[in-house]
Structure 1
């Protein structure tokens, strides 16, 4: 069972999400918070696996709260769900350790799957944001740090930036899921990142993958 906490000051949205999530057999909403001051108290009392975090909430914003939760409750996954597609919000949330970043116009079934994804220890980024990131950078010579990656690790990194899951990467490269996880772990270590989303941001910023 995946225990989920909702952080949003809009009651209608919160109630709607709760009703949708509790229709899933493997998900349970164990707590809610409407402002920043409530978040720590509710997290401490309900011990969620995943916090679904809005950015615009009273007292403390969701980005600040994300950083605080990732420092004080490292086992808790934070999935940002917001209306903000601005680059500064997205980048700030990733820097603070968010395990995922989704926009509120995403279909609810994809939000449900995203919760399952981050609960498993993987990261997820809204597809529209990944495409925009790729469009921000012109194709240039690869950064020198790519020399630290093996050819196979570069292939896996390209798949990560394309938004493929571990299973899809394995199928494309004809390797097992276990082997994919080993390559991903090595990529994280070499790039000094802690999540899939951070690896994607790093790869795009440093032109480590071919860009359109």
Structure 2
């Protein structure tokens, strides 16, 4: 059972998400919070698998809270669910460790699927935000990038394409365990902590061919 916590200062949105999630047999809402202080207080007693959180909230933003959570509660996954399409919010959230970034106009089934995907250790980025990656400027490269093997670059391209570990394994004719090993090595070489960060880094630095 996937344990979910909802963090948003809008009661109507939390109630709506609670209703949607409660209809799923493999997940449940174990807590809610309206601001950062309430969230952090609740995390001292309950440990959700996934936190679904807005960016714009009283006291502390969702980006600030993501940074705190990822440093103190490393196993908790964070899904940002917001109305903000701005590049700076998107990039900041991912760089602070958010495992997913969806817009509030996303269909309910996409949000539910995103929770499942993130709970498995994978990432989700709203389609419109993925397109924005193509316009980002190239950054200074690190020496580690040149150490990626041909197979690791193939796996990295699959990550950029949004494929799951299972889909990557099928496409490259390797086992899921092997995929996980490659992903782990890619993270280490690029000095990133999540699939989303790896995707952004790869696109920014043109590490893989893009359409």
2-side partners of 1:36 and 1:183: how far apart?
36
What residue is the counterpart of 1:93 in the other structure? 93
Deviation at 1:147, TM superposition (A): 2.5
2:52 aligns to what SS in structure 1?
A: strand
1:204 aligns to what SS in structure 2?
A: helix
1:30 aligns to what SS in structure 2?
A: strand
What residue is the counterpart of 1:76 in the other structure? 76
Pair 137,172 (structure 1): closer, same or farther in 2 beyond 3 Å: farther
2:9 aligns to what SS in structure 1?
A: coil
1-side partners of 2:156 and 2:85: how far apart?
24
Deviation at 1:143, TM superposition (A): 7.9
1-side partners of 2:75 and 2:136: how far apart?
33
Deviations 1:127-179 (A, max 9, x none): 221122024458xxx98654211111111101101111111111211112111
What residue is the counterpart of 2:203 in the other structure? 204
2:31 aligns to what SS in structure 1?
A: strand
Give yes or no for the alignment of 1:112 onto 2:99.
Answer: no
1-side partners of 2:173 and 2:145: how far apart?
23
What residue is the counterpart of 1:12 in the other structure? 12
1-side partners of 2:202 and 2:174: how far apart?
22
What residue is the counterpart of 2:67 in the other structure? 67
2:45 aligns to what SS in structure 1?
A: helix
RMSD over aligned Cα atoms: 1.6
When normalised by structure 2's length, the TM-score is 0.93
What residue is the counterpart of 2:187 in the other structure? 188
When normalised by structure 1's length, the TM-score is 0.93
| Structure 2 gap segments, 5+ residues each | none
Residue correspondences, number: 209
CA contact (8 A) 1:137 1:204 kept: no
What residue is the counterpart of 1:126 in the other structure? 126
What residue is the counterpart of 2:160 in the other structure? 161
